Structure 1
Amino acid sequence: MRTRVALAVVTIGLTGACSGPSPARNEPGRLQFSNSTESPRAGPVVNYREAYDKAHRFATIWVRKDIETTAWRSQLAELATSDLQNQIHTDTFTRPVAAALRGDIAPRVSRPDRIEFVVDTDDGVKAIVMVPANSHWRVAGIQSA
């Protein structure tokens, strides 16, 4: 008889535990748990298309020889991170030897915190490094690929 009572108590307890949240569990101020593996996002998601467009625009401006140097630097800086902007406005950031792009740019590395696009120029293959900054993609650098 005691065994039946003990089994009944355990069964009732397990049924209550597996039945889901009760109204009392949804009271304000109580911790809520979820089986979800997704974490909430604090800001807007930066999109791949924006990264691609800005990298392509940067590469197109970077190889231009037909605009004055101050305008060239200014147009590049609009697409860059603050660190790269500082470099662009110095004499150490010189115009490239490349004068033309060959074909389209293509992703080489694609992560949530960094995308590298490869572009073939008449001076060799270059990589444009994109990073998210203030919910937008910005060019962090251009280097030989």
Structure 2
Amino acid sequence: MARRSLYEHFGGKDGLIAEVLRRSAEADEAAYVRTMAAAGEDPRARLLAVFDGIGEVIAREDFRGCRYLAADLALTDPEHPGHAVTREYRVRVTGLLEHELAALGHPRPAAAADQLLLLIDGALAAGATRPATDPAPAARRLAELVLAE
């Protein structure tokens, strides 16, 4: 499909960007679900497996960082539809984390989920900018502190 046809199909360049982000978000959220499911039934193991999975993602040759952070930084118009997609993605991932934290019996599952998302974002950013620092295992160790609260 030609570029013009793509833009027309999605209502313009902004719509195309938002759709690409939406499809990526669905795939990435499904990857979190698969990673946690593969870790078994223990919520602690499921949550920590997320950081192991991030380590695998960062180690890939084609890894270039978090696409949602990159989109939020690149899309300077605060009303760009891509921002709505990235916000909703983060809400859904936070919800997955909060669900596991509640199952773990964490005293503050919402706050802890926000902290874990911060660690995820930081690990992905560091993975792109400072991969030699091995950010996923470092974030996993910090996540263990959040879980132990």
Note whether the superposition's TM-score is higher than 0.5. no
The structure carrying a bigger strand percent of its residues is 1
Q: Structure 1-normalised TM-score?
A: 0.28
Q: Which structure would you say has the larger RCO, counting Cα contacts within 8 Å and 6 or more residues apart?
A: 2
Larger Rg: 1
